[in-house]
Amino acid sequence: MSTTSFPEIMEPHNPEQAEQSGDVVVLHGGMRNKDKWKTFVKNVKNKQQDQVRVTKYTIEGGPIIHELIYDGTAIQSTYDDSRDLYGSKQGRTTNTCKGIGTMKSEEGRAFYVLVGCENEGDAFSIPKF
């Protein structure tokens, strides 16, 4: 499988830097580079290789980074909360998932989630817009 490596993470990896390096940026009240996420979802559905980096920011502003690589059959998800002051400090963890699904929160908001994952503890979600 030929994947290109993700752009280097610029420190302190604030939302503007993340957006410039091509990340899908999820902030409270908005998302930047939405089109990259839409393309990734479409490519997974069509079984076409793709990758995307999603950086979500906590209320305190700490970045939590998910790198998703789809090889045509499965998604490898790498989770990194090492830059979040309140993170678990476990560093980078990886998980393999079968695909992308949707779910609704108790408040009725829709989210994209990874489904069929080997490790259920690594919960990735991104708001559906």
Q: Which of 2-11, 23-32, 103-112 has the lowest mean pLDDT?
A: 2-11
Domain count, the chain: 1
Within-domain flag for 58: yes
Range of the domain at 36: 15-98
Q: Which long-range contacts (CB under 8 A, 24 or more apart) does 95-104 make?
A: 95/119, 95/122, 98/74, 99/44, 99/75, 100/41, 100/44, 100/45, 100/75, 102/128
Q: Predicted confidence band at 121 (pLDDT cuts at 50, 70, 90)?
A: low
Within-domain flag for 112: no
| Alpha-carbon span 7 to 94, nearest angstrom | 18
pLDDT digits (tens, 9 = 90+) for 94-119: 999 999 999 998 999 999 999 999 98
Percent of the chain residues topping a pLDDT of 90 = 60
Single pTM value for the model: 0.88
pLDDT at residue 12, rounded to an integer: 80
